[in-house]
């Protein structure tokens, strides 16, 4: 989920003080031209992703109403995280991340342009959608692993928290606010139009990344690629904080995407609404994520990392209950705003902890391993949701998700025990 303060200047420069393990906030220096180029690149590509986010399910719903086939879109999109993330993470630590991101964007540009052509020529079907979703997912694993790996090289270590807040804001604003709205407008004009526009945004992203000076490459590899792929998993396994964060997100992603994969049917069949409400749900989540950027500063003054995550879990729990049991589109949108608040807090704290606890040379592989596990489970969650909806009714997966979220919040203290001050501390990145 993604949004942002691309044009919002909230100066929350954060210094992590290792001896006290607390967070200080001050009004500080600029994050620099290279970081701004990265942010604008993310904004461009994620705007296209946002158009894709709404246009793809709407196109799929025109082709089928079967919840299993609809959930197949999410399966195809996220399966590459299970199959390719370790590989793309390893090569992001071995090759120039800037060039890899450019290549991923150019490839995605070609894929969505081809999809637009199949729609115009009336050759699209559900299997074409699956193939495009899977191919885009492969490129996404490479681009995302490289982007989060390159970010710490563009800014000072003590600016990681504010950089991640702005990075997350840029993602959410574009992918869940600007993009989805444009996607629906363009789709209603012509079903191929959002995909053609998506190709333009990917091309723009590649051009912006190319403008970043070529000084952020990685050292020449001295190990085998297979060993590098396994190193990420071993590092994740051996760090208790990262291991627990991965386990939490893996479980939550399974049940969240069991429900989220059916959002287009949830909107039409349970909320008895149309495309406007479908877009409003994504926009609401995006607004919540933006709001979280303004909350993380005050919360970090009062709470440790585990306390902020506990707060996020309770926000998720309340929102999931509203989503599961309402038939009102207004309650659903309000619940998605809350869902976005929890999502934003989790993203900022989780991403910052992973970057602080991981040496620079391991970031690509660690992020890849993290996503292989936590995102690799998404296709199975989506499949579970489709099957559960077929036998339990469409509301079933949403109720199951709410039960899991409430349980996670109730037992948060036990679940987050490894995230103590002494366990986290700060790591000097080398």
CATH topology of domain 31-210+227-421: Growth Hormone; Chain: A; (1.20.1250)
Count of residues in the chain: 430
DSSP notation for 143-191: HHHHHHHHHHHHS-GGGHHHHHHHHHHHHHIIIIIIHHHHHHHHHHH-T
- Secondary structure of residue 27 in the 3-state scheme: coil
Task: Quote the DSSP letter at residue 223.
Answer: S
Q: Residues 283, 176: contact at Cβ < 8 Å?
A: yes
Q: Residues 420, 306: contact at Cβ < 8 Å?
A: yes
- Residue by residue, pLDDT tens for the chain (430 residues) are 333 332 232 223 333 323 333 333 334 456 678 888 888 888 888 888 778 777 888 888 888 888 888 888 888 888 888 888 888 878 877 788 888 989 999 999 999 999 999 999 988 899 999 999 899 989 988 888 787 777 777 777 667 777 777 777 777 778 777 888 888 889 888 989 999 998 999 999 999 988 887 755 556 666 787 887 788 889 989 999 999 999 999 999 999 999 998 998 999 999 999 888 988 898 888 889 888 878 888 888 888 888 999 999 999 999 999 999 999 999 999 999 999 999 989 988 888 888 888 887 777 778 788 888 998 898 999 999 999 999 999 999 999 999 999 999 999 999 998 886 654 544 434 4
Question: What CA–CA distance (Å, rounded) separates 318 from 314?
Answer: 6
């Amino acid at each position: 989920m993604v949004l942002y303060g691309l044009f919002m200047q909230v100066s929350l420069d954060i210094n992590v003080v290792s001896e006290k393990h607390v967070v200080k906030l001050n009004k500080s220096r600029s994050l620099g031209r290279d970081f701004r180029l990265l942010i604008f690149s993310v904004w461009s590509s994620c705007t296209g992703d946002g158009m894709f986010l709404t246009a793809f399910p709407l196109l799929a719903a025109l082709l089928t109403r079967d919840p299993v086939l609809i959930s197949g879109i999410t399966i195809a999109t996220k399966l590459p995280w299970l199959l390719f993330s370790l590989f793309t993470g390893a090569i992001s630590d071995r090759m120039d991340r800037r060039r890899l991101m450019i290549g991923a964007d150019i490839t995605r540009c070609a894929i969505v342009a081809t999809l637009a052509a199949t729609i115009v020529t009336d050759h699209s079907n559900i299997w074409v959608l699956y193939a495009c979703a899977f191919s885009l997912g492969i490129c996404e694993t490479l681009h995302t692993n490289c982007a989060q790996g390159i970010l710490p090289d563009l800014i000072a270590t003590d600016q990681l928290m504010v950089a991640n807040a702005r990075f997350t804001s840029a993602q959410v604003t574009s992918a869940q606010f600007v993009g989805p709205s444009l996607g629906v407008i363009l789709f209603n004009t012509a079903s191929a139009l959002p995909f053609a526009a998506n190709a333009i945004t990917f091309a723009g992203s590649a051009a912006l990344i190319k403008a970043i000076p070529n000084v952020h490459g990685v050292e020449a590899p001295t190990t085998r690629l297979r060993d590098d792929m396994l190193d990420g998993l071993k590092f994740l396994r051996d760090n208790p904080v990262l291991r627990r964060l991965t386990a939490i997100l893996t479980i939550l992603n399974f049940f969240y995407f069991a429900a989220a994969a059916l959002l287009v049917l949830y909107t039409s069949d349970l909320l008895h609404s149309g495309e406007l409400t479908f877009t409003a749900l994504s926009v609401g989540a995006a607004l919540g994520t933006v709001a979280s950027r303004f909350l993380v500063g005050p919360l970090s003054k009062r709470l440790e990392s585990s306390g902020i995550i506990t707060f996020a879990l309770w926000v998720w729990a309340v929102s999931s209950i509203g989503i599961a049991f309402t038939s009102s589109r207004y309650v659903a949108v309000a619940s998605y705003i809350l869902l976005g608040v929890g999502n934003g807090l989790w993203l900022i704290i989780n991403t910052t902890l992973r970057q602080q606890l991981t040496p620079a040379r391991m970031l690509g592989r660690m992020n890849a391993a993290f996503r292989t596990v936590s995102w690799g489970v998404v296709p199975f969650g989506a499949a579970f949701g489709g099957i559960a909806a077929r036998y339990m009714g469409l509301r079933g997966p949403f109720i199951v998700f709410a039960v899991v979220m409430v349980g996670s919040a109730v037992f948060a203290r036990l679940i987050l025990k490894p995230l103590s001050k002494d366990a986290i501390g700060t790591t000097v990145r080398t």
